Structures are given as structure tokens and as C-alpha cells.
Structure 1
Amino acid sequence: MFTQRPEKSQGTTMKKQLSQPERMVLFALTEDGMRTDSEVAERVGMKESTVGAHRRSLIKNGHLKFANYPAFHKLGCEFLVEFFGRTNPAIPLDDKNEVYTRFFRRNPQIFDAVSGEGFLMASAAFTKVSDLLNFNERHDIFFEDLPTSKGLLEVAIFPFEISRCSYVYNFAPCIHRILGVSASEPTGREPKWHKLETPDLSKVETKVLLEMLEFPTATDAEIASRTKRSRQSVTALRNGFLERELFTRTAVPTLNSVEFGAVAYVHLKFKPSVNLDKKNSIAGDDWWLQSCYTLERNSELFAVYPFASFKEYSSLMGEYIGPFERSGVLAQHPEIFVVSSENIVDLVDCAFSPLLRRILT
């Protein structure tokens, strides 16, 4: 999710400060990754040429990347899973990261994973329960000879049929808050129920879709060359995919500037009667609005909250989830893992195509 220092030791990167125009462009793109430079300019009141220059600068300097985020619920996956918890502090960070990276590369169900400061989180999608059980067995077998490297990971499961998810990133509200953007507030992506659908793709559609997921910044001409199709047919297929909402073009901020200081990974368990409406009536909407990644069902929540600093975390985290504690709707104490954004390392980053290649082909 965050591209800080892949496979590097901590303390090796000097974070830079974003200029005010860069902040505006970053915000507008995280709000809608499909926006053209003209549309961004209109949203934040800048010249189109200026927007283009800052877009290129943000990408070049590693502050922004683009991903075509797949609609897992339409492409054969029945549920999402979060693995999270503590790792062994006695094992050097690089060694732990190397071991888990090897495991994740062998198991494409993991499409995002980060580590940092003794914490590990991995996001996964599965087609059926047996797929998850086989994954757990492979995990245990893999670590039989490496017991000290095995993390104490918990599992949170979110079946699409009974969950409300905002799993396509919702960065715009927290970017607006942290960067102090002088534009109207975004509405954000509220967690919602996703109807399971059976994928209905031809071989050509499947091939082109997988290329677009693997190479999200490739032009239609480049995809056409890779798939031996005409550019016009690739453009028509892309438009069809977007119309069917098979993927969402998403601008992903790397949080790799001085404005971002900490990220909180939060797991809550509720009493089973606490549905989405009741959560909103108790705590308002900041609990999901300020989360960049939210998975929710009546009895469980997993959310990720970026902050400007640990001080801001201390100030705001209680506002986001404190009402749940005070109202007595939690089934257990909250689990919160706070990591300095400077020390977050990506182990897997928006790796969608390996999983969907296995499912669709």
C-alpha cells in the first residue's frame, strides 16, 4: 500500500516536503484517479499545464503511483482477509522481510503487505474457504523450519455477502486533512455491500484485463502490442471494463514526504447487533471517512488511518473509534498498531495480476 523503502533497511531515506501545488494535485488525483490534467485543474483552480508538470513531478519523485484496482467481487473472489500482528523482535528486520516476501511471492492471494517496527499486515483475496485453509497450511509448512521468523498473526475475514467494504483506496479525505488542502472536502468512499458476480470474460478480454492490471500506466498502444490486438480494440475493451466496473483506476499516494508521520492499523470486534447504521449513529462518519482502507461487517472492522504525526494520532484516534468504546458496543478491547510512516516497508504492493491470472486462466 505504501512504497517507502522496498527491501531496504530503516533510516536510509530522506523525506522531502511537498509544495502547495503538489499537495493540491495529489489530493485531486487521490479523489479520482481517472481525472485528466484539465479536470484536476478545474477541481483545484490551477492551470492545466501546471497540473501536468506537478503530476509528472509527483510520479518521478515517488510520491504517487497508479493502480488499476480490480473488483474482486466480480472476478471470482468470495471474501477478503486481513492477516496482521507482531513479528519476533529478536530477528533482524531485513531477515524477517526477506522471509515473508519469499512466502508471499509463492502465494499470490496476497496482493498487499507491509511491515515495520515489529508489525506485519497482509491483505488477501480468496475464492472459497478451502482456498484459505490451504493457504494457512502452506504458511505453517513454510515456517516449520523457520519458527523464529513466523509472526504472531491474527486473521480477520470479510465475506462479500455479509460485509461492507471500501477496499478501493479512500485516501482523499485524509490527504485533504493532513495536507491542509484549500479545496472543498471530498465525500470519500463509504463502505458498501458488494454483490458477488461470476466473471464472464472471453479469452481475449481476460488477456487484456490481466495486462491492464499488471501494467496500470501502459497506454492502449502498449497493451495492444503485448496482446497482439489493435489499439482500437484495446481501447474498446478498456472502456467496457470501466463501464462494467471491473477495475477502478486509482491514484495511490506513497506517504513518502515529511507531511506524513504515522499510520494506525486498527482491528475492532463488535457485538453482533452493531450494523453499519448503528456504527454511524454512534461515532459519526470519521471512523470510515478518514480510513484509507476499510473492511467492515456487523461484528468486525479492519481500518487503516494515516496521520501527520504521532501527536495527531493521539489527538484524533480517540475521536474516530472512542465513541465505540464509550458506548459499550465492542466485544473486546481495540487492537491498534501504530507505525512510523518512515519505517513502513512494502513487501507486496498492488500485486493484483498474479492472483487473478490464477483465477481467470
Structure 2
Amino acid sequence: MKFYTLPTVLILALAVTATSSMATDFAPRHIVFASDPKFPSSEKSEQGEVESASNKEERSRWLIDAQYTSIADFRKQSGGAAAVPVMINGNMTASGQPSERTYLNAVLQNKLRNLYDYGLGSHDYDFNVASCTRCAAASVDDLKDRYWGKVANMDLAARASGLTKTWYGSLAYSRDYGDVHLVQLHNEPTYNVNFSTGSFFQTTAYEITASLDWLERDLQRARAQGKIILLNLHQPFHWPVRESEIFRFTKMIEDYGVTAVFSANANKQSGKYESSNYIYADIPLFMSGSAVQQSWLYAMFSADRTQMTVNVIAGNDWLNPVATHTVPVK
């Protein structure tokens, strides 16, 4: 990657066109949706109960291993890892610490053969901006290194001026698996924050912006191509923005025919969100639970690609879904 020097400002604005080797032309029959491995966390820590750090970490390792062993087994029985995309919707770690990220990356490399996609959740960067800026920055950098220049469309660019390099954009990305268009919006599509790390001699700044403008262009292109559009994000509700921005999002996903939205759990629920809501209107919202809850989802498309059935897995027992929901493909 080369930077081109102008007289006073160094600028890079990359329109990403490269495609990762994982994105293929096949039409997947199944897709797995998970969220919140959130290492380290346990049942007790999620309930606010007292627990030693060592016990929490030991329990978290067991829970994460159990969940991703189950997902790996499902993939093995469904055509293999390369045939079944996996999307993890945020909260990869509890606080973005280096040891947390290193451990989880190793697990996913081992269990999922490094064939998976993911988004950032509130614990990966949002909650860390004030308390551990370097943790938030490292979480963003890990994502950037995995996807920037390697997926068909990503909302990220860079510029440099003097001793400061700035990464800017929402970090949202999309990729196609045959006729399925997966979009990852991370924390939520209106999230924005600025922060920086570095020393007196060199600073790296991050300008995280809302993804609505990028999303509209991405959805418009996917709809023109006749794709099955599945939207992913971490936080499904409680976006701290004006109603006009939420209305814009709602109209957008309706106008461009999003088939379903997948998110992390809300209020410790998993499965289909049955209550009416003003954000998603008539578009179904599915929540994938967490490693602690031992819950995840897999979607299965009908042979004629007109229907999608979402299976809700509890106790990591994918052979016996506790609920199934069939929705029309748009």
C-alpha cells in the first residue's frame, strides 16, 4: 500500500474493490449467526455476581469452546466449513484487552478454520473509548487488517497530515456468498465517535461515522443485482439519535427489500423478536444469544430460494432446534 505525498497533506481514500477468497459464487444452503463470545464472561459475571477472575476465565473458555465446537460440527455435517458462512455479531471480547483478542482469535482459527465473519460490539470499542483507548483502537485495527482491501465494499479510508494518520468511516462492510448479500454494521448504524492513540511523535486517530449513507448505496446496488439481503448489527435497540435517523434506516431497509436483520441478544433473549418495533417495521429481527447462553442460530434456504427458515439453537444442541421461523425471501 503506497501513500502519495502532496505538498502539505498526505491523503489516502481507498475504494475497496478486492474480494476475499472466502466470498464465493456458490449459493449457500445454510448460514450460521452467533454473537457475544465476549471472552472472558460467565453466567455469574453476566448476572453481576461475585466471581474470581480465574474462575470466570476458566468458565468462559469452556463456554466458548463448547459453542464453537458445536458450530464446527454443524458445518462439518452441512457440507464443510467452506460451504457454511458464519457471522458473529459483536462483543468478541469483554474489554478488547490484548490477551482477550489473542485467545479468541486462536479459538476461531482452530474451530472455524479462520472461515468466518464478524462485527464489533459495544464491548469491543464503544465502552473502551474512555477507559482503554488502546483497546478500542486495537479492536478496530484487527477488523481493518482482516477486511480492508479484502472485501468488495467497506466504509473505511485513511488520510495523513503531519504526524497524524486518521482512519475514517463507519467500518461497515458487505460481502456476497453467491446470491446472498451479507451486510455488517457493527455496533449500530448511527454510532459515531472520535478517539486517538499514540505519542508526541506519531498519532493514529479514528473517526468512526454513522453508516447510513454507505448503507443506502450498498443496499441499492445489492437490490439491483437481485441479491438476498441479510443485515447484521450488534445492538438492535436504544440508539441515541434523532427519530429522523431511525426513520431513514427503517425506510431504507423496507425500500431495498432486506429479508431479515440479525443481531446480538436484547434483554437476554434469543430467537425471533416477536414484539412490534418501530426500527425494523415488518422486517423480521433475529437475535443469536451468546456463548454464556449457549445459544445461536442457523438459517436454511429452501431449494427454490423463496423462503428462509431460521432455527434457534439452545444448549448448543443443533440437532434439536427449540424453535423455527420461516420468512419469505425478498
TM-score higher than 0.5: no
**Normalising TM by the smaller chain, what interval?**
under 0.3
TM-score, normalised with respect to structure 1: 0.24
Q: Which has a greater percent of strand?
A: 2
TM-score, normalised with respect to structure 2: 0.26
